Amino acid sequence: MAIYLDPPLWPAHGTHFSHLISDTSLEELHTFAAAAGIPDRAFDGDHYDVAQDRYRALVAAGAVPVEGRILVRKLIASGLRIPARRRSSSLKLPLLTRWNEVLPGHDALFLDLLDRWGEEHRKYHGRTHLLAVLEALDLLTEPAAPPRTVLLAAWFHDAVYRGIAGQDEEESARLAEDRLAQAGLPLSEVDEVARLVRMTADHQPEAGDDAAALLSDADLSVLGGEPAAYARYLAAVRQDFAHIGDDDFAAGRAAVVRQLLQLDPLFHTARGRALWLEAAQRNLRDELG
């Protein structure tokens, strides 16, 4: 049983905020918050938002300071975390804290990517998917952090999305080349990010390509969800292709599912196979049936 607190990195209302969570129960969290004088209005479903001027006092009161990604892992493991899909917010703040861990000081690029991922026509390929891929990368690499090039490739892999297979990935890769070069990243990193983005067109990394294996597995992790989650995924994908008639969509989707079932391996990391393979094969077979 412990209370955890991440650094005050979330900008709002002229200051920065931390998250306060429990790894055991909301009752424990509410008790700690009440004793520390944190108002009820600061509670947001599974955590309290606390201003930076309270940070030191909360640590002195017993809150354990951890990095943002560690706090998220603790919250997920506790079973208390509210899934992103159930939140009404834009996900700007959780994505901002992750962006600041990988490429701090480039706020304009973050806001451009956030706008792209938040485009109205996106239903599945939106901010919730981006956050899910980043969280899947955490699971695949814990306790270490994912490589920066892999994280940046996740940010860019669907940055351009019009529902045109192959073309979307190519345009996203070109966007990464342009914007990351402007940001001053070494050319070797820029090229690697673009290469990884292009790989997501077919999710078939070469043997021994560990970085591509991580990104491919994280991007396909949705296939290994519980049946209800998989049904929501299918509904969102159908909305992404609402401009296509039912018969054409059904035929195209069946071809995609058959291709996924034929991938050997479907997941390229041992961790990915352990986490998602069995459920993914079941979901795909059930969908095709």
Task: Look at residues 68, 207, 201, 217 and name the one whose alpha carbon lies nearest to residue 139.
Answer: 217
The whole model's pTM is what?
0.71
Mean pLDDT, the chain, as a whole number?
91
pLDDT, tens digit, 9 for 90 and up, residues 187-245: 999 999 999 999 999 999 999 999 999 999 999 999 999 988 899 889 989 888 888 88
The band of 88, judged by pLDDT with boundaries at 50, 70 and 90, is very low
Domains of the chain listed by start with CATH number: 3-67 (no CATH), 92-288 (1.10.3210.10)
Q: 121-125, 143-147, 156-160: which has the minimum mean pLDDT?
A: 121-125
pLDDT higher than threshold 70 for residue 84: no
pLDDT, tens digit, 9 for 90 and up, residues 6-53: 999 877 667 888 999 999 999 999 999 999 999 888 888 789 989 999
Q: Which residues pair with 4 in a beta bridge?
A: 21, 64
How many angstroms separate the Cα of 45 from the Cα of each of 37, 82, 93, 126, 205? 18, 7, 15, 22, 39
User: Could you tell me if 75 and 66 are in contact, meaning their C-beta atoms sit under 8 angstroms apart?
Assistant: no
Instruction: Classify 70 as helix, strand or coil.
Output: helix
